[in-house]
Amino acid sequence: MLTLIIADDEKIIRDSISSLVDWESLGIQLIGVCQDGFEAYNMILDENPDIAITDIMMPGLNGIELVKQSRAMGAETEFIFLSGYQEFEFAKQAMKLEVRDYLLKPCSENEILSVLSRVKALVLERKAMTLINTENESLRTSMLSLAVKQTIIECLASQSDESMLLSDMFGKEEAYTLIHVHYLEKKYIPEFLKKADHLLLDHAKVFMYYVRNTLILILPVLTEDSCTLLCHHLGMVTYTGQAVALSCTHQTFFTMKSLLAFLLPRIRRFDKIYIVEENGNAEEICNYTLLFGSMEHLLTTLNKDFAAFQKELLRSLREFKDPELARIYSFRLFHSLQVFLSKSSPSLPFSFSAYLQSLLKLQSVEEITQFTSDAIITICLSYTTAENTYRSFIQRTIDIATEHMSDPNLSLKLIAEDYLFMNVDYVSREFCKDTGEKFSSFLTRIRMEKAKEILATSSQEKIYAISEQVGCCNPQYFSQVFKKYTGLSPSTYIESLKGDLQLWNA
């Protein structure tokens, strides 16, 4: 039902029109009767009526000014002017303000109904067009959101160049602002969005994604000042359990295509990305390309740290949600393992074909994950037992080095002479032959891995204290070795654990 107000300084006119018309039968609700222009203006601001019948000549604020000020405030009210014969030329000028119709005083019921019928049709047509435009915009936004999602999925599931994945629909000249909210843990996304809701409320389209401690917002383009202010306020949001202050960065792109061309290569570096809904729920998308590519790295941990290999194997298998992808990954893993083990033992004591035949019969991701994990661990344990990877004195060397890595005087010479009672040159040569690396490299590796573990679990630990725990008395030398081993200084490594901010600035 449409709404209408009447404004006239003459009571008899107000009362006559109010009582003369059967408003309900017209599908119109009379919501107010005003005695001057100021009262009508306030009611238009408060009630936003669809139609206003107003006198032209009123004290305080006349009809012309009422229309001008209402339009300036964004009111979509359609106006019908009441005028006397002497005001007719004045009324014609009002038509330039897109006043839809007028009534000459005195007016009959039929004249009022005729004008109302015309204006009502205009209002209903405008409302219908507004609804269509809103639905079209909503549909376009949904399609754009779906296209962006699909492009991200394709990017993470294939080796294709990012430019080949960008649809023509992304090329429309419509600018966007990209905002990164750094240092936000995934479990706090719902609370953060609840706290930031009033900041994002004015933005009709907000696409949200999440990767490793970073929330990504895509908004309709903002001015530099507005964007800076929004980032400032987002960075000030606090929530229960917050460990690190948030940090925001922003960039502007003239098309969605240029924005995605910037974003896709960066999110490809991560093993997971989440599509975030307004309520904070996050839909996980796994980077299968990265996961398949990490298979070689997984196998290199086999001879170095079997416990780590088991843990990483199970984690990789659990990433898959689709049975076919899980089966393909398992097939490749079995094949890669066969090649890997064959390098040192051409004749293996088990049949890979039997495992692959069993794998084909499995249907669910859970079954495939459990079978593959159990089978590969069984194979690796059998291989280790059959081949006896390290000779006893080499294993003894590894155990002593691991136990005494905090000793700054630890060396292969000390181990060989004080523990093994063997020639150091012989031990050095045989250690490299069995393990594939020099003892010095091995000692540096286990010390730096231990340092990484300490930094990850005790980020407040002083550098000199960590260096002492891994057998490096000189903190400066420790920092140099750590940076050479990891590519990052200890302090930068701690920051990378918080949010991998350097990945976005690369």
267: Cα separation from own chain's centroid: 10
Partner residues linked to 214 by β-bridges: 182, 211
Residue 85 and residue 58 in contact, taking contact as beta carbons nearer than 8 Å: no
Q: 263 and 349, same structural domain?
A: no
Give dist(CA 22, CA 30) in Å, integer: 10
SS3 476: helix
Please indicate, yes or no, if residue 149 is contained in any of the structural domains. Answer: no
pLDDT score, position 501? 45
Domain end, chosen from 107, 134, 166, is at: 107
Cite the beta strand spans of 160-306 per DSSP E: 176-182, 207-211, 214-220, 247-253, 272-276, 282-286
Largest CA distance in the chain: 124
Structure tokens at 217: 């917002």
Give dist(CA 290, CA 424) in Å, integer: 42
Please indicate, yes or no, if residue 119 is contained in any of the structural domains. Answer: no
Q: 80 and 167, same structural domain?
A: no
> In CATH, what number is assigned to the domain containing residue 70?
3.40.50.2300
Q: 39 and 10, same structural domain?
A: yes
pLDDT score, position 381? 64
> In CATH, what number is assigned to the domain containing residue 208?
3.30.70
Q: 352 and 265, same structural domain?
A: no
The total number of structural domains that make up the chain? 4
Q: 282 and 167, same structural domain?
A: yes
**Which H helix or E strand runs over 317?**
helix 306-318
Structure tokens at 259: 């924005």
Please indicate, yes or no, if residue 138 is contained in any of the structural domains. Answer: no
Q: 251 and 176, same structural domain?
A: yes
Q: 440 and 466, same structural domain?
A: yes
pTM of the predicted model, to two decimals?
0.45
Partner residues linked to 104 by β-bridges: 83
Burial class (CB in 10 A: 0-12, 13-18, 19+), 467: buried
Residue 177 and residue 225 in contact, taking contact as beta carbons nearer than 8 Å: no
Domain end, chosen from 322, 352, 387, is at: 387
Q: 170 and 91, same structural domain?
A: no
Structure tokens at 435: 């393990």
pLDDT along the chain (506 residues), means of 10: 92 90 92 92 92 88 88 88 68 65 82 90 88 72 72 66 59 82 89 84 74 89 87 87 86 87 83 80 72 67 68 77 76 74 55 69 84 77 55 84 90 87 84 85 89 76 85 87 86 68 47
Partner residues linked to 140 by β-bridges: none
Measured from the Cβ of residue 196, the count of other Cβ atoms closer than 10 Å reads 20
Residue linked to tokens 């098309």: 255
Domain end, chosen from 331, 360, 387, is at: 387
Residue environment code for 422-432, b if the CB has 16+ CB neighbours within 10 A, otherwise e: eebeebbebbe
490: Cα separation from own chain's centroid: 28
Q: What are phi and psi of 204, to 5 degrees?
A: -65, -40
Please indicate, yes or no, if residue 45 is contained in any of the structural domains. Answer: yes
Please indicate, yes or no, if residue 250 is contained in any of the structural domains. Answer: yes
Residue-by-residue DSSP string for 343-389 = TT-SS-SS-HHHHHHHHHT--SHHHHHHHHHHHHHHHHHHHHHHH-S
Please indicate, yes or no, if residue 132 is contained in any of the structural domains. Answer: no
Q: 12 and 84, same structural domain?
A: yes
Q: 231 and 316, same structural domain?
A: no
Q: 309 and 364, same structural domain?
A: yes
> In CATH, what number is assigned to the domain containing residue 451?
1.10.10.60
Please indicate, yes or no, if residue 143 is contained in any of the structural domains. Answer: no
Q: 305 and 276, same structural domain?
A: no
Order across the sheet with 176-182: list the strands: 247-253, 176-182, 214-220, 207-211, 272-276, 282-286
Domain range for 354: 294-387
Please indicate, yes or no, if residue 492 is contained in any of the structural domains. Answer: yes
